Each structure stands twice: as structure tokens, then as C-alpha cells.
């Protein structure tokens, strides 16, 4: 951990370097984008049922029509669901992650629950019945974190202290300065989890609840999807391809997902696979980029984004283009970001400022970050701390949404391995948005359902955020919900994040 003065110096140097290399990175990005549009995927597939629907990526695996999908908001929903799935495993378990903490507890109800729900003992118990395979990124070189030494130590702990048919392998195929960032789990070929949550406490304990009570460490907001149906086979296919490309270990034969005839949610698994990384995709695969650009350009009424980063020049350009166009009905963009992104607030600030200038005070786009509050230990009555937004979510027009591992930066869209799920289901898309808004606004979902969406965006969101900003200044009252306006520069109550190590890989 860097000391405060060293952190400030590193931040200054980092910002200077970012400004210096940004034009170079953007030119490289433009070259990549030009390469992608040549022949990375076919322009159309006229023989397919979905070829005329631009919601779907025409490369990679096709959309699947028969699925059951449940969004899991925050670790308090995801971890118990994973624990149940591990307990029911009968054939195999596959875990692909960025980093992993072997003894992270999946339950927190009491001391016994914490003791009995630790990840490695649960995986060991599972591995006594079925094969368990874990594929982690091998880590960064030298001083960057998590580095190869750290991840190798994690691998040794898993294989030394675990038991049964349990293997952990490290994927070292990522190009230097990049990483394998997918977060995906498959159980028996019947259940999959895809989203933003790693099984770790590194830089923040992923277990948190929608109420986000103030705690010693940073509060954590994230989203994962629980998948059943045809699409699970595509999540498993991704794991198998990466496992076979980076290890010499065989996997059990795949099991076809069982599909309930009542499952009618259409979904597609899309990825970022950098070029020249794996033999199964030598030119790369860039479905997440395609999905975001296409979906944003088609938006008619509402774009709702939650993301750790808003760095991608291509995404920012598209949002500016959308705001410049006339719309047949009121059009709004709502963006939720962390108050201070690890290693990246300058970039978020830069693009937030660009988009605000493009808005020209019309109120089309707005930016927020969530906070937690609780009794203070000093002279103030209450203390406030930013909730770290690690979710990677987009909801478009309450019809289409995506949840996955990809941040809205060049890494997530170009150079790190990522995996997202695209879902086209209006009822599910609207329900996800309302549940997220209920958490941020501190309101009941049923109440939000009765309110006009435009009125919520234009009045309730800004009014509550403004009131909370005043509360934080006075430090005399708990927050109303958790919304705070996103501010360029220093954010209140962000001391913990400012102490975070800057020389780290995005996660």
C-alpha cells in the first residue's frame, strides 16, 4: 500500500503519462476498430432467425431463445446462490476468474455461517464428488498487482489445502500489461453465473447487501446473472476453449443443458477475445464492443449505465452523437459511476466533462455515484463513504440489457478477455432497472413501478442527490437513499479509495 504522499505523487505522474499517451492509444484503437470491421464476423447471416435483429452480435455463438435468467444484485444475492449451486453439483464445476481469495466466506449471517461457508472448504467438499476446475489469470509482471507471485501463491494454497478432484490452473496467455478478466462459473452444464463479481476480497470485499450499511472496508456494488437454459452451453464452451488453450488437462464430457419449455428469454453470450491470444480466435472476437455500440445507437428513450469506468473514446463519441440527434420523444441518459475509480478517476472525470459539455445544459445526461452512511467516530454525527461501483450493466429502453465483466474502457472492449450476457426481454430489463434504482434511491420497487420514468430522472434523482450532498457537508444526518452527484475532482468521503494502490490492474 502506498503512503498518502507517494500515492499523490504516483497519481500526478500517472495523469501526466495518461495525457501523453492518450493520442497514441486512441490511434491504436482506431486501427483495431478498422481491422475488426473487415472480416472479424460476417455482415449478415440471412439463413438465421435472428439475422434481421440488430440487437445480436453476428459473430461468436448465436443468441439462444430458451433461457431462464435471474439478475443477482450485490454479493448478498450472488454468494448464497453460488453456495447452493455448489452443494447441488453432480457432474462438474468450472470457475473462470480474474483473481480469487481461497477463504472468502459465501455466507455472513453469523460466526458459524462465516466459518462453514468459506470458499476453499466448499470447493473441496464439492471436489470429493465431482471434478472442480479453476482457471485464473496468471497475474501481472513485477510490481503491478495482482502479480505472478501473488497468483502463484493462491494456486499453491488451493492445491495444497484443497482436496478431491480439484485443479487450479493459471492462464498466462494475456499480453503484457493486459489480463484475463472474465468472471464466469458453470455447474453441471445446467447453471451458469456471469457478471462483474470475482470471488475475492482483493481491494474490496465483494459480499455486500442492497442496503450497504457502512463498514470498515469499502462498500461494494456489483451485478451477476444466474443463467439456466441453452445459453449455459455457450458459457461452458468459453471455459473449455480457454482451458484447452492454456493447459494440458482434459475436461469431462460436456452435458447438454436441460430446458424447461416455459423458458422463453432470448440471450446471447458475447466476448472480448484479443487477437493473437488464443488459437480458437486468432483475429480476436469483439462481440461486447459490437453489442454496446449497436444498442446505444438504437436507443430511443433511455440509456441507463452502471460501470466502473467510462474511458472508451468510442463509447463517449457514440453518446455525444446520440445527444446531438433529434428524438421523437424525451430522451435521457443516466450514468452511475464510482466516486473515485481505482486508477482511473482522471479518465472518468475527463469523459464526464466532455459529455456534460455536449449536453449544453439540456438535462439529457446525468451522472451519479452511490454513498453509504453511518454513525461517525469523531466530532461529526455521521460518516459517509463512497460505495464502489464495480457493476458492468447497461439497460436500453427497458427492452434490452447486458451484464458482464467488461468495463467501458479499451481493455474491456479490446485487449482483455471478457464475457457478457446480452438479454432481450422487456419485462426482465425493466425489472432489473427498477431493482437497481430501488437500491440507489432507497425506495421500494413497487413505488418506483408506479412513478413516471421521466419524472424520476428529471426530479427525484437530482433532488435526492442534491439533498444528500448537503447532508454530507453538514454531517448531521443519515443519507436519504445513497445517491450523490458525481463530481469532477475530489469527492467527499473518498479517503479510503485515495489510499488504494494506484499501480494495479483494472479489475
Select from 252, 232, 249, 240 the least CA-distant residue to 278.
240
Count the neighbouring beta carbons within 10 Å of the beta carbon of residue 62: 18
Domain that holds residue 195: 67-267
Provide the whole-model pTM: 0.91
Over residues 215-251, the pLDDT tens digits come to 989 999 999 999 999 999 999 999 999 999 999 899 9
Does 296 share its domain with 318?
Answer: yes
Q: Say how far apart CA 179 and CA 504 lie, in whole Å.
A: 11
Residue 45: predicted pLDDT: 53
Q: Say how far apart CA 490 and CA 33 lie, in whole Å.
A: 34
Q: Say how far apart CA 502 and CA 507 lie, in whole Å.
A: 12
The parts of the chain modelled with pLDDT lower than 50 are 1-31, 33-44, 495-507
Does 200 share its domain with 285?
Answer: no
CATH number at residue 208: 3.30.870.10
Q: Is residue 53 part of a domain?
A: no
Q: Say how far apart CA 299 and CA 507 lie, in whole Å.
A: 28
Q: Is residue 421 part of a domain?
A: yes
Does 458 share its domain with 475?
Answer: yes
Q: Is residue 224 part of a domain?
A: yes
Residue 52: predicted pLDDT: 78
Residue 198: predicted pLDDT: 97
Does 88 share its domain with 156?
Answer: yes
Residue 490: predicted pLDDT: 79
Q: Is residue 286 part of a domain?
A: yes
Amino acid at each position: 500500500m502506498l503512503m498518502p504522499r507517494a500515492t499523490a505523487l504516483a497519481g500526478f505522474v500517472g495523469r501526466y503519462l495518461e495525457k501523453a499517451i492518450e493520442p497514441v492509444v486512441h490511434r491504436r484503437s482506431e486501427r483495431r476498430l478498422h481491422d475488426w470491421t473487415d472480416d472479424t464476423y460476417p455482415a449478415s447471416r440471412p439463413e438465421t432467425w435472428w439475422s434481421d435483429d440488430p440487437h445480436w452480435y453476428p459473430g461468436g455463438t448465436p443468441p439462444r431463445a430458451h433461457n431462464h435468467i435471474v439478475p443477482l444484485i450485490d454479493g448478498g444475492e450472488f454468494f448464497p446462490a453460488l453456495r447452493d449451486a455448489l452443494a447441488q453439483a453432480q457432474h462438474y464445476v468450472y470457475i473462470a476468474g480474474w483473481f480469487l481469495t481461497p477463504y472468502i466466506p459465501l455466507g455472513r449471517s453469523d460466526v458459524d455461517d462465516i466459518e462453514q461457508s468459506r470458499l476453499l472448504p466448499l470447493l473441496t467438499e464439492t471436489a470429493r464428488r465431482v471434478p472442480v476446475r479453476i482457471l485464473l489469470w496468471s497475474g501481472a509482471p513485477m510490481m503491478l498487482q495482482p502479480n505472478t507471485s501473488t497468483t502463484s501463491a493462491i494456486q499453491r494454497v488451493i492445491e495444497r489445502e484443497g482436496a478431491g478432484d480439484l485443479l487450479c490452473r493459471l492462464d498466462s496467455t494475456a499480453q503484457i500489461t493486459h489480463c484475463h478478466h472474465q468472471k464466469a462459473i458453470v455447474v453441471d452444464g445446467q447453471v451458469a453465473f456471469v457478471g462483474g463479481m470475482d470471488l475475492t476480497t482483493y481491494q474490496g470485499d465483494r459480499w455486500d447487501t442492497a442496503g450497504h450499511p457502512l463498514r470498515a472496508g469499502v462498500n461494494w456494488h456489483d451485478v451477476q446473472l444466474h443463467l439456466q437454459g441453452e445459453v449455459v452451453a455457450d458459457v461452458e464452451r468459453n471455459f473449455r476453449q480457454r482451458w484447452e488453450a492454456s493447459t494440458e488437462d482434459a475436461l469431462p464430457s460436456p452435458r447438454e443443458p436441460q430446458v424447461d419449455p416455459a423458458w422463453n428469454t432470448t440471450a446471447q453470450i458475447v466476448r472480448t477475445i484479443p487477437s493473437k491470444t488464443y488459437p480458437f480466435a486468432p483475429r480476436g472476437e469483439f462481440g461486447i464492443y459490437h453489442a454496446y455500440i449497436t444498442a446505444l445507437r438504437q436507443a430511443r428513450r433511455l440509456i441507463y449505465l452502471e460501470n466502473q469506468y467510462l474511458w472508451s473514446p468510442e463509447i463517449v463519441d457514440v453518446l455525444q452523437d446520440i445527444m446531438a440527434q433529434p428524438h421523437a420523444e424525451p430522451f435521457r441518459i443516466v450514468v452511475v459511476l464510482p466516486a473515485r475509480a481505482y486508477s482511473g478517476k482522471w479518465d472518468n472525470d475527463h469523459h464526464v466533462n466532455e459529455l456534460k459539455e455536449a449536453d449544453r445544459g439540456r438535462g439529457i445526461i446525468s451522472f451519479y455515484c452511490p454513498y453509504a452512511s453511518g454513525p461517525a467516530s469523531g466530532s461529526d454525527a455521521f460518516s459517509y463513504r463512497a460505495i464502489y461501483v464495480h457493476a458492468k450493466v447497461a439497460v436500453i429502453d427497458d427492452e434490452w440489457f447486458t451484464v458482464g465483466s467488461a468495463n467501458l474502457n479499451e481493455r474491456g472492449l479490446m485487449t482483455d478477455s471478457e464475457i457478457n450476457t446480452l438479454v432481450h426481454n422487456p419485462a426482465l430489463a425493466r425489472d432489473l432497472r427498477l431493482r437497481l434504482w430501488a437500491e440507489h434511491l432507497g425506495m421500494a420497487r413497487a413505488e418506483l413501478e408506479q412513478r413516471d420514468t421521466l419524472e424520476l430522472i428529471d426530479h427525484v434523482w437530482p433532488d435526492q442527490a442534491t439533498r444528500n450532498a448537503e447532508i454530507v457537508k453538514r454531517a448531521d444526518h443519515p443519507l436519504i437513499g445513497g445517491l450523490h452527484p458525481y463530481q469532477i475532482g475530489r469527492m467527499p468521503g473518498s479517503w479510503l479509495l485515495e489510499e488504494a494502490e494506484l499501480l494495479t490492474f483494472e479489475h
